[in-house]
Amino acid sequence: MTMTGTQARAVERRADILAAACELLARGGTAAVTHRQVAERAGVPHGSIRYYFATRDALLRACVEDIETRRDAEAQRVLREAAEDAARPDAELTAHRMLRVITGSALGDEDLRGTLCWLVDTTRENAELATVLAAERVRLEAQARELLRLSGRTTIPAELVISLGEGVMFKLHVENRTDIARQTVAAMAELMTLRGE
């Protein structure tokens, strides 16, 4: 079944709106995601936002689901890479892969700062978003455990590596430091080395 021109434009407009909302969320937290700001960023009439997303909560939920879908896709790529490794990767490569599992493929300073901010904001926004993120967290932890298994590092708790990575990113963010990805990878690699992995 093929889409009509009108249906295709509707799908494209919804995607543009969602992309604009995700960008606003990542750069400015939940406060930046208003129907008016999203409409301006997407270049669509204000009323069309409500046509695709009846409430702000529905729009935020769609953003979280979209961002997590992209993170999950990157995690799956990482797991395929790890599965294809003939030799056990060193701690630094494993830590770099772990950061990609945790945050997705965008590892620039502003991307990582944005990830920290939207995560904190959305869990405080409402109980439904917190529940969505809790379910995603279960998937993230399972992917991290699988990465450690594929990397021959089975004695390290995945939750510990994730917590260390997030803690280092948060500390560097608060200190307004740069090169967040490199320093986070170094800290996680050091943990793996200290644990005899």
Residue 86, pLDDT score: 83
Strands (E), the chain: none
Mean pLDDT of the chain: 92
Per-residue pLDDT reduced to its tens digit, 138-149? 999 999 999 999
Reply yes or no on whether the pLDDT at 123 is more than 90.
Answer: no
- What is the pLDDT averaged over residues 122-146? 93
**Cβ atoms of residues 153 and 192 within 8 Å:** yes
Q: Where are the domains of the chain?
A: 57-194
Per-residue pLDDT reduced to its tens digit, 93-108? 999 999 999 999 889 9
Reply yes or no on whether the pLDDT at 197 is more than 60.
Answer: no
Residue 1, pLDDT score: 56
- What pTM, to 2 d.p., does this model score? 0.90
Reply yes or no on whether the pLDDT at 41 is more than 70.
Answer: yes
Burial level of 108, CB count in 10 A (0-12/13-18/19+)?
exposed
What amino acid occupies position 91? A
**C-alpha dihedral sign at 126, 132, 138, 143:** negative
Confidence tier at 2 by pLDDT (50, 70, 90): low
Reply yes or no on whether the pLDDT at 127 is more than 70.
Answer: yes
Burial readout 2-40 (b: 16 or more C-beta within 10 A, e: otherwise): eeeeeeeeeeebbebbbebbbbbbbeebbebbbbebbbe
**C-alpha dihedral sign at 188, 194, 195, 197:** positive
- What is the pLDDT averaged over residues 83-87? 90
